[in-house]
């Protein structure tokens, strides 16, 4: 008797049915895309991008493991030092990494907040939002936030990245998610290389471990300068903002001069810094309270800063108000390439839920348009590289930034392609500008 099992008969009828259903579904979806003016977005952006992302994932990126191992030792020593300081400030020995013990120390022992709330499990909440509100009450709070930030950096990246190295290629191969983010931005997983924190020196240093494939290659990085603000100028049609981008050497300085009603040469570093925060915060729908908290100023000053901003750029306020108005009517907003962000909660009776949708109505057209622009640039760059027979490879995309494993002999040619394709991806009323850097690793290049 044979031990081999006879194969299941192929069900041709089932395959035919699935094929017919797929064709019918294609027809239905294509009809809807035509009705919603999405054909160009689908066929000229998202579909061509598929093969580019596949090539990036397959290429992978080289990692300097010894650098990460050495850095792990440095960071762990720093964590130990901070932990010791926290215990000295608290006056008791406890497990700083334990939310339960931390809550008891902060709210029972140190009595930093008499109105501290407990979770359903009966312990105090020590979330980042809770701790951030207590920053001014004791220096221990910032130490705790630093402790947690470093612990997360170590576990999520410094110690974790080497575990993602493929045995055959010797590289990390992240997966780019094309249809994940509601704004149209790309995201990445396994590992998420788009979320490496870069606002702190410790976080930025992780990029040092991302290196070229060999000694014949170099790391080439290119990113758009203030692309969302430039798109806001174009979409809002604000004459003052357009003029500032077209003529001012420093947009944040020009903004500060308008807000504070001073000649541009009299703008201080602090004024410029506040204007920069306002520039980026306002396109995300930041409130006077949120701006004040971010800048460490009073709510009154925050309100005055926003008022001054809208007086300087009235078209921006009109654009924001119109975006919310359109969203209330249509329950969606659109980018420059007609990508839609649906906002079903825009008319919610719940004020908190509604306000979140309103902020998204303001930001989604701008952030989504920036996503459209970088995708168009990626397609243009890829086409040029293939047409000119280049061997360099596109490796990493982080929102407004592109990174390449660039063959040294192709560097000048690659720089020319990046500038031409990125700065001309779309035609808008202000110039798109690109910053580029080259180095032995990602940190050095960017």
> What was the pLDDT predicted at 6?
59
Q: What are phi and psi of 88, to 5 degrees?
A: -65, -40
Q: Which residue has the tokens 């396109």?
A: 283
Is residue 355 a contact partner of residue 221, using CB atoms and an 8 Å limit? no
> What was the pLDDT predicted at 249?
79
- Both structure tokens of 345: 């909660």
> What was the pLDDT predicted at 294?
85
Beta strands in 259-308 (DSSP E): none
- Both structure tokens of 230: 């430039």
Q: Where are the domains of the chain?
A: 66-163, 229-368
Rounded to 5°, angle at Cα 422 from 421 and 428: 105
> What was the pLDDT predicted at 253?
94
pTM of the model as a whole: 0.89
CA atoms of 142 and 9, how far apart (whole Å) = 67
CA atoms of 27 and 267, how far apart (whole Å) = 58
Write the DSSP symbol of residue 310.
H
Angle between helices 299-312 and 269-282 (to 10 degrees): 80
- Name which of 260, 196, 210 is nearest 60 in CA terms: 210
CA atoms of 359 and 152, how far apart (whole Å) = 29
Mean pLDDT, consecutive 10-residue segments, the chain of 446 residues?
Answer: 55 76 87 93 96 97 97 97 97 95 95 87 90 89 96 96 96 95 94 92 96 98 96 96 90 92 92 92 85 87 91 95 96 96 96 94 95 98 98 96 98 98 97 97 95
CATH topology of domain 66-163: Taq DNA Polymerase; Chain T, domain 4 (1.20.1060)
Residues in the chain: 446
> What was the pLDDT predicted at 1?
45
CA atoms of 52 and 83, how far apart (whole Å) = 45
CA atoms of 47 and 38, how far apart (whole Å) = 12
> What was the pLDDT predicted at 7?
60
CATH topology of domain 229-368: DNA polymerase; domain 1 (1.10.150)
> What was the pLDDT predicted at 241?
95
Cα-based distances in Å from 56 to 47, 175, 351? 15, 9, 43
Quote the radius of gyration of the chain (alpha carbons, Å): 26
> What was the pLDDT predicted at 9?
59
């Amino acid at each position: 008797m044979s031990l081999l099992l006879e194969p299941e008969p192929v069900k041709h009828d089932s395959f035919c049915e699935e094929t017919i259903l797929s064709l019918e579904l294609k027809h239905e979806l294509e009809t809807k895309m035509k009705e919603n003016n999405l054909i160009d977005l689908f066929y000229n952006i998202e579909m061509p991008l598929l093969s580019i992302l596949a090539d990036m994932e397959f290429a992978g990126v080289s990692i300097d493991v010894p650098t990460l191992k050495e850095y792990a030792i440095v960071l762990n020593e720093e964590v130990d030092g901070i932990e010791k300081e926290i215990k000295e400030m608290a006056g008791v020995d406890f497990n700083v990494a334990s939310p339960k013990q931390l809550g008891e120390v902060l709210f029972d022992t140190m009595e930093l907040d008499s109105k501290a709330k407990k979770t359903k499990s009966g312990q105090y909440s020590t979330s980042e939002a809770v701790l951030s509100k207590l920053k001014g009450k004791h220096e221990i709070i910032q130490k705790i936030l630093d402790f947690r930030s470093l612990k997360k950096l170590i576990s999520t990246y410094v110690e974790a990245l080497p575990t993602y190295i493929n045995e055959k290629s010797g590289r990390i191969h992240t997966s780019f998610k094309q249809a994940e983010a509601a704004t149209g931005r790309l995201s990445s997983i396994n590992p998420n290389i788009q979320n490496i924190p870069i606002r702190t020196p410790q976080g930025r240093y992780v990029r040092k471990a991302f290196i070229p494939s060999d000694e014949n290659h170099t790391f080439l990085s290119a990113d758009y300068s203030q692309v969302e603000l430039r798109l806001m100028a174009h979409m809002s049609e604000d004459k003052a903002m357009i003029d500032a981008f077209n003529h001012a050497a420093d947009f944040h300085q020009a903004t500060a001069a308008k807000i504070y009603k001073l000649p541009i040469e009299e703008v201080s570093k602090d004024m410029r810094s506040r204007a920069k925060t306002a520039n980026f915060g306002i396109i995300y729908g930041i409130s006077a309270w949120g701006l004040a908290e971010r800048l460490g100023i009073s709510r009154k000053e925050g309100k005055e800063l926003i008022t001054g901003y809208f007086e300087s750029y009235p078209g921006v306020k009109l654009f924001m108000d119109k975006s919310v108005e359109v969203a209330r009517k249509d329950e969606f907003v659109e980018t420059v390439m007609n990508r839609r962000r649906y906002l079903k909660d825009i008319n919610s009776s719940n004020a908190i839920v509604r306000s979140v949708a309103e902020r998204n109505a303001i930001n989604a057209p701008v952030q989504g348009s920036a996503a459209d622009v970088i995708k168009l640039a990626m397609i243009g760059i890829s086409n040029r590289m293939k047409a000119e027979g280049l061997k360099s490879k596109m490796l990493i995309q982080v929102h407004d930034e592109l990174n390449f494993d660039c063959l040294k002999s192709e560097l000048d040619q690659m720089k020319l392609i990046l500038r031409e394709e990125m700065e001309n991806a779309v035609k808008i009323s202000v110039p798109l500008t690109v910053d580029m850097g080259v180095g032995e690793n990602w940190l050095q290049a960017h």
